[in-house]
């Protein structure tokens, strides 16, 4: 018994070509967002480190809070990209 919709070789090649292009874009997007997220982790750590060396307590608390938020957001993005 033959299938109800038989695909020609040209149609199969077209479908495969579209899927490969979509996969390449998805992979490239994942790499870009991973690099951006890792950069944000470093920025967050730098802000926390900067908070340790400021003269004012209010500025130190501000840097520590912003650094913690940036660090948390970038780690969450990494989690969503690779383990979510």
* CA pseudo-torsion sign 41, 42, 45, 47: negative
pLDDT in tens, 26-59: 999 999 999 999 999 999 999 999 999 999 999 9
Count: domains in the chain: 1
Q: Is residue 28 part of a domain?
A: yes
* Domain interval for residue 59: 9-82
Q: Is residue 2 part of a domain?
A: no
pTM as predicted: 0.75
Q: Among candidates 29, 31, 51, which has minimal Cα distance to 39? A: 31
Proportion of the chain above pLDDT 90, given as a percent: 81
Burial 11-49, CB ≥16 within 10 A → b, else e: eeeeeeeeeeeeeeeeeeeeeeeeeebeebbeebeebbe
Q: Is residue 53 part of a domain?
A: yes
Confidence of residue 5 (pLDDT cuts 50, 70, 90): confident
């Amino acid at each position: 018994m033959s299938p109800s919709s038989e695909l020609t070789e040209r149609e199969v090649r077209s479908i495969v070509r579209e899927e490969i292009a979509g996969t390449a874009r998805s992979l490239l997007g994942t790499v870009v967002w991973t690099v951006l997220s890792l950069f944000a982790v470093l920025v967050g750590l730098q802000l926390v480190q900067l908070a340790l060396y400021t003269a004012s307590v209010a500025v130190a608390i501000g840097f520590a809070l912003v650094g913690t938020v940036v660090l948390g957001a970038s780690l969450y993005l990494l989690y969503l990209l690779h383990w979510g």
